[in-house]
Chains A and B, each alone.
Chain A
Amino acid sequence: QKEVEQNSGPLSVPEGAIASLNCTYSDRVSQSFFWYRQYSGKSPELIMSIYSNGDKEDGRFTAQLNKASQYVSLLIRDSQPSDSATYLCAVKGSGGSNYKLTFGKGTLLTVNP
């Protein structure tokens, strides 16, 4: 059973701080990794994708991937109250399941003004 693990939180940070969200995965050969943001009552929204080891930056968001440690993280700089949401880590399958996404349970982030 391929698994994606996230700390469910809640993670609470003050406005302007850096929020750090973490994710580990069990399928060693996974190649594609994603972070989704889901506001309460809304559908998931893709915010970052990462395929290679290292960092990928997009505005205030930085995704970090370490395939050797099977670890993906998302950093949100200068956190805003509008960033308050559940963040879902997703991992694309491998081999015959390479079209499927496995989602973690999500981390609830609260940014306090």
Chain B
Amino acid sequence: SAVISQKPSRDICQRGTSLTIQCQVDSQVTMMFWYRQQPGQSLTLIATANQGSEATYESGFVIDKFPISRPNLTFSTLTVSNMSPEDSSIYLCSVVTGTMDTEAFFGQGTRLTVV
């Protein structure tokens, strides 16, 4: 498994502002993933972050709204830009490890409320 530290754990933000979420892993990993979990819903993949290349975004998510950085193999950030109340959600960082490189582990999550 991997130990993933994510911060902040929660925040309340004004609409129109931006929030940057940080994710630190205790070992080097090739891919890091950012998910969103809206209230009462399951996890939706926002993007995949590879070190040294631009993030790959899923349908419905764009770089201008969710810019991602991946400066090295243990760290990534996700920014939620120009926030609106619809962005209120839990944002989760994830990495894949294991002998078959398939088992995904999650950070503690960031609970974001936009007012």
Q: How many residues of A contact B (CB 8 A)?
A: 20
A99 to B92: give the CA distance in the assembly, Å. 17
With an 8 A cutoff between CB atoms, is A80 at the interface? no
Interface size classification for chain B? 20 to 34
Q: Contacts A32-B100, A43-B92: A103 and B105 contacting too (C-beta < 8 A)?
A: no
Q: Contacts A44-B106, A99-B31, A100-B48: A88 and B100 contacting too (C-beta < 8 A)?
A: no
Q: Chain A residue with minimal CB distance to B59?
A: A1
Inter-chain contact total with CB atoms closer than 8 Å: 44
Q: A105 to chain B: closest CB distance in Å?
A: 4
Where chain A touches its partner, the secondary structure class is loop
Q: Chain B residue with minimal CB distance to A89?
A: B42
Q: Chain A residue with minimal CB distance to B111?
A: A41
Chain A interface residues (CB < 8 Å from chain B) = 32, 34, 41-46, 49, 51, 88, 90, 92, 99-101, 103-106
Chain B interface residues (CB < 8 Å from chain A) = 1, 31, 41-45, 48, 92, 96, 98, 100, 102-109, 111
Q: 3 shortest A-B CB distances, which residue pairs?
A: A43-B106, A105-B42, A103-B42
A-B contact pairs, 27 of them (CB 8 A): A32-B100, A34-B102, A41-B111, A42-B109, A43-B92, A43-B106, A43-B107, A43-B108, A43-B109, A44-B106, A46-B1, A49-B98, A49-B102, A49-B103, A88-B42, A88-B43, A90-B104, A92-B102, A99-B31, A99-B48, A100-B48, A101-B43, A101-B45, A101-B104, A104-B42, A105-B42, A106-B42
